């Protein structure tokens, strides 16, 4: 008997009925059309199907859809801001961290969840975190470099967000000084 599933995927709410044995990867790909989430091994050993559920990286081929009932799911399609790729996506491109691209979406989603928790990881921490993500084309050194580059890009982006606030504060202080006549 089908059961009701309420999930939010990439900021959009969905409500429908699924068989209890339906995997999350099937809901994402077949029912919702988020085909960036790939299914490869059917045994939870390659991680090509990785998505983010409530901030944590999960292998969508190893979790039932009903287990994410009421939760927020992010797929690779949910990272870009319109035509602007997410810094992690761009770092993978710029560092040649893919060839065939089949595992790339899972790698990117795992990297996103990891960098959200650890914004300044070491090479060794990245290697440990990405262990189990199988790539048969590129090699893991380029993926590691892309994640390190993405971390720097995200740090720069966060620093840039803070600059306008500081600039406005300085302008406000200058305006107050000018009004008081105590300045320069």
pLDDT tens column, 86-135: 999 999 999 999 888 888 999 999 999 999 999 999 999 999 999 988 88
Contact at 8 Å (CB) between 32 and 22?
no
- What residue has token string 């994410």? 68
Contact at 8 Å (CB) between 111 and 153?
no
Does 168 score more than 80 pLDDT? no
Give residue 179's pLDDT.
Answer: 58
Q: What is the pTM of this model?
A: 0.85
How many whole angstroms separate alpha carbon 12 and alpha carbon 172?
A: 39
Give CA separation, 102 vs 47, 55, 84, 121, in Å: 11, 23, 21, 25
Highest mean pLDDT among 28-32, 41-45, 178-182: 28-32
Give residue 184's pLDDT.
Answer: 46
List pLDDT tens digits, range 42-100.
777 889 999 999 999 999 999 999 999 999 999 999 999 999 999 999 999 999 998 88
What are the chain's domains?
Answer: 1-78 (3.10.20.30), 80-163 (1.10.150.120)
How many whole angstroms separate alpha carbon 166 and alpha carbon 132?
A: 42
């Amino acid at each position: 008997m089908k059961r009701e599933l309420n999930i939010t995927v990439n900021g959009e709410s969905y409500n429908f009925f699924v068989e209890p044995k339906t995997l999350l990867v099937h809901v994402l790909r077949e029912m919702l059309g988020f085909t960036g989430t790939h299914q490869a091994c059917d045994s939870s050993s390659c991680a090509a199907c990785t998505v983010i559920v409530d901030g944590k990286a999960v292998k969508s081929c190893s979790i039932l859809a009903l287990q994410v009932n009421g939760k927020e799911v992010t797929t690779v399609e949910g990272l870009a801001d319109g035509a602007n790729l997410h810094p992690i996506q761009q770092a993978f491109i710029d560092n040649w961290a893919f060839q065939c691209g089949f595992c790339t979406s899972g790698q990117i989603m795992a990297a996103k969840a990891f960098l959200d928790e650890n914004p300044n990881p070491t090479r060794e921490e990245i290697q440990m975190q990405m262990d189990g993500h199988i790539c048969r084309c590129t090699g893991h050194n380029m993926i590691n470099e892309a994640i390190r580059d993405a971390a720097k890009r995200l740090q720069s982006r966060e620093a840039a967000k803070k600059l306008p606030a500081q600039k406005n504060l300085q302008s406000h202080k200058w305006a107050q000084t000018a009004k008081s006549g105590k300045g320069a």
